[in-house]
Structure 1
Amino acid sequence: MTSFLDPLISFVSVHAWLAYLTLFLAALLEAVPVLGSVIPGSTIILALSALVPGGDLKLQWVLLTAASGAMLGDGSAYWLGHRQQRKILNTWPLTNYPRVVEESETFFNRYGTWAVFFARFVPPIRAFVPVTAGALGMPPVRFYAINIPAILAWAPAHVLPGVLAVSAFHEYFGVAHQGHPGRHIWILTVVGVAIMLGVGVWIYRRRNGGSVAAVKPRA
């Protein structure tokens, strides 16, 4: 992860437009079934949010691009499921991940409409619930009535911890801005996302009495 994030942050810190594009794509791809389970979207978003306190990126644009990417990703997955109905769940590549698809369907059936909200914060089913909601016939109005507020809560929850951590680091430890945050900066964001993901998995396990299925293709 170090070899990936360090040069990425260094590069996009001097190319703001690319940083916003990366944020958008990270949020979008995180909502793509299967792919979203392996793309470190949350980590990338938190790491890039560390550029806000130094002035490299603007907070309002970071929030907007992250939320826009998530809305497009969730919406696309939902409409794919809505158009294909249940047969999409029995189509490649979802057929290679039967346990996660089954957990997503169980999660949706258990929590109903609110599954769309909760799933935004619970990997790995975050990437599967929108398509499952569409496949199981959830009306578009109901989906967006829950999905949009969920994303509006999800974006600050992923962006602000990185912003606040770096701001506090600068203020209390006297770390001056050097054009882009060093490794000590993005390490804080990685720790933050690890904590958030851990809490999400713990909540899911507590409510379902089991472990989250590993996202591994069926042999």
Structure 2
Amino acid sequence: MTSFLDPFISFVSAHAWLAYLTLFLAALLEAVPVVGSVIPGSTIILALSALIPGGELKLPWVLLAAALGAVLGDGSAYWIGHRQQRDILNTWPLTNYPRVVEQSENFFHRFGTWAVFLARFVPPIRAFVPVTAGALGMAPAKFYAVNIPAILVWAPAHVLPGVLAVSALHEYAGLPHHGHVGKHLWILAVVAVAIVAGVAVWTIRRRHGGGITEAKPRA
């Protein structure tokens, strides 16, 4: 995979429009059932985000391309499931992945609406939960009310690590970089991680009736 990505990243770094298109397609295809389980979307997004400190790409456009691709990918999968209902889960090519489909259903039943948020950060079921949500009858308004905030957290969570790592490397090696890019990145990264961790902890505690605080002492 590295042997393919290295020359590809070098090529798109010289063609910004192609890099943004690649980011969009990587995020979109990563959300497509089955396809998303084999497309290294997260790896591509992380690799291209490393071009931001050097000025080849712009942070706002990278975030926008990734977010739009994810919204379109998740939304398309959801509407396919919504229109075909449970029949889609028993249709090729999903029938070739019965274990992942079952995991997605169990994940959805366990976490309910929040499964749409949490699945954004849990490959490979990330590519199966949107279509499962539609197939199981989740209302469109409820889906988008959770999916869009999840993507707004997911995009920075995937882009910022590469930016921070390369910015730190430039700083350490004394290489030129765009200082204004990294000025507030640590704050954004901490906020993104805090949101993900907070939602995860709240969901787990909610599903387990408040966690250890309700555990009964042994006699």
TM-score, normalization by structure 2: 0.80
Superposed displacement of residue 5, structure 1: 1.1
> 1:38 maps to which residue?
38
Matches within 5 A, 1:165-184: 165-176=165-176
> 1:50 maps to which residue?
50
Structure 2: give runs of 5+ residues left out of the alignment: 178-192, 194-199, 205-219
> 2:106 maps to which residue?
106
Matches within 5 A, 1:132-211: 132-176=132-176
Superposed displacement of residue 62, structure 1: 0.1
Q: State the Cα RMSD in Å.
A: 1.6
Matching residue's letter, 1:60:
P
Q: Which runs of 4+ in 1 moved over 6 A?
A: none
Aligned mates of 1:28, 1:176 — CA distance in 2: 33
> 1:89 maps to which residue?
89
Aligned mates of 2:94, 2:5 — CA distance in 1: 29
Q: Deviations over 1:108-167 (max 9, x none)?
A: 000000000000000010000000000000000000000000000000000000001100
Query: Does 2:11 align with 1:3?
Result: no
Matching residue's letter, 1:39:
I
Structure showing greater radius of gyration is: 2
Query: Does 2:117 align with 1:117?
Result: yes
Structure of higher RCO (CA pairs closer than 8 Å, 6+ residues apart)? 1
Q: Deviations over 1:64-104 (max 9, x none)?
A: 00000000000000000000000000000000100000000
Aligned mates of 1:2, 1:174 — CA distance in 2: 26
> 1:17 maps to which residue?
17
Aligned mates of 2:155, 2:84 — CA distance in 1: 29
Matching residue's letter, 1:108:
F
- More off after superposition, 166-175 vs 112-121: 166-175
Matching residue's letter, 2:36:
G
Aligned mates of 1:96, 1:63 — CA distance in 2: 33
Count matched residues.
181
Superposed displacement of residue 172, structure 1: 1.3
Structure 1: give runs of 5+ residues left out of the alignment: 178-195, 197-202, 208-219
Aligned mates of 2:69, 2:23 — CA distance in 1: 8
